[in-house]
């Protein structure tokens, strides 16, 4: 019988146990504790702001208390820190006034409903394979008094079949679909060449996706790769009462690695 088993038999009546604690165990426990603490802080900020975004292009957007993917980015969205790298692109899209916005990987509707509030004349559509998001998306749309159309399917070979097959006006596609953005390569040229794209790139899931999409859109679009940037802790009034450690926990988007996005504007729009 091994030493650990002997000690465990001796210590079990006392309510103790001997085991080897690896670095992985330590990391997992710290992550679990930090996550629970972050949920507590998120609820504080959510209740103080009534879960309403205070800064950024979607200022005034009311968020659901619970996200379908995660609740942990709610505070970051409220204070205007979530994906702030994309704010200039979002403002640029709004100024160009596309006829429709189609958000693939819409989750609770942060982008789709945010864009609908800023572009009330545009038709906004959402698609997501996560059924848990459907009710939360509807709740968010109702809270913001807007209507978005949730699609039951999305065909990369015919992306306008449930929107408007005859539409050749400027449209906007926003993608965050964990590697499936590579399927954009199947878009018909008549659609891709007349559309704005804002695409989260998941190079760690689909190696080569960045090069493939830039090659696909290079001749018809002006392209910009947007890199993830570090957050500053001093620019958010809602976080003034929190110390730097708490701010770091709140603003961490828990991505695990730096992300980047592709913003593509049709050249014919720029002429």
pLDDT value of residue 36: 86
Contact (Cβ atoms closer than 8 angstroms) between residue 78 and residue 53: yes
Can you give the pLDDT at residue 31?
Answer: 74
Residue 171 · residue 194 · CB < 8 Å:
yes
**Pairwise CA distance, residues 167 & 36, whole Å:** 47
pTM greater than 0.75? yes
* pLDDT value, residue 33: 80
Q: Which residue in 224, 198, 210, 205 sits closest to 103, CA to CA?
A: 198
How many degrees, rounded to 5, is the angle at CA 44 between CA 229 and CA 88?
30
* Domains located in the chain, CATH noted: 81-270 (3.40.50.150)
pLDDT of residue 56: 95
Per residue of the chain (271 residues), give pLDDT as tens.
555 665 566 556 556 665 555 666 666 777 788 888 888 999 999 999 999 999 999 999 999 987 655 667 899 999 999 999 999 999 999 999 999 999 999 999 999 999 999 999 999 999 999 998 899 999 999 999 999 999 999 999 999 887 776 666 789 999 999 999 999 999 999 999 999 999 999 999 999 999 999 999 999 999 999 999 877 777 899 999 999 888 988 888 777 778 999 999 999 887 6
Nearest by Cα to 73 from 110, 27, 32: 110
Question: In terms of Cα–Cα distance, which of 253, 108, 115, 129 is closest to 183?
Answer: 129
């Amino acid at each position: 019988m091994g030493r650990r088993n002997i000690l465990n038999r001796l210590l079990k009546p006392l309510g103790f146990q001997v085991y080897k604690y690896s670095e992985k165990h330590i990391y997992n426990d710290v992550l679990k504790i930090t996550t629970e603490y972050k949920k507590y802080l998120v609820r504080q900020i959510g209740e103080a702001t009534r879960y309403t975004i205070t800064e950024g292009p979607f200022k005034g957007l009311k968020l659901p208390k619970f996200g379908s993917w995660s609740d942990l980015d709610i505070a970051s969205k409220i204070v205007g820190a979530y994906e702030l790298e994309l704010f200039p692109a979002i403002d640029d899209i709004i100024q160009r006034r596309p006829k429709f916005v189609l958000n693939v990987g819409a989750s609770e509707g942060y982008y789709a409903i945010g864009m609908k509030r800023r572009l009330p004349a545009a038709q906004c559509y959402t698609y997501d394979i996560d059924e848990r998001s459907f009710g939360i998306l509807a709740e968010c749309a109702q809270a913001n008094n807007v209507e978005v159309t949730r699609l039951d399917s999305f065909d990369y070979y015919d992306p306008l079949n449930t929107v408007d097959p005859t539409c050749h006006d400027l449209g906007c596609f926003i993608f965050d679909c964990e590697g499936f953005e590579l399927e954009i390569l199947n878009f018909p040229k008549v659609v891709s060449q007349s559309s704005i794209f804002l695409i989260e790139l998941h190079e760690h899931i689909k190696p080569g996706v960045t090069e493939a999409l830039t090659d696909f859109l290079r001749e018809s679009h002006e392209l910009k790769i947007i890199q993830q940037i570090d957050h500053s802790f001093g620019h958010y009034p809602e976080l003034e009462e929190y110390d730097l450690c708490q701010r770091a926990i709140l603003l961490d988007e828990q991505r695990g690695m730096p992300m980047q996005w592709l913003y593509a504007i049709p050249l014919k729009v720029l002429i």
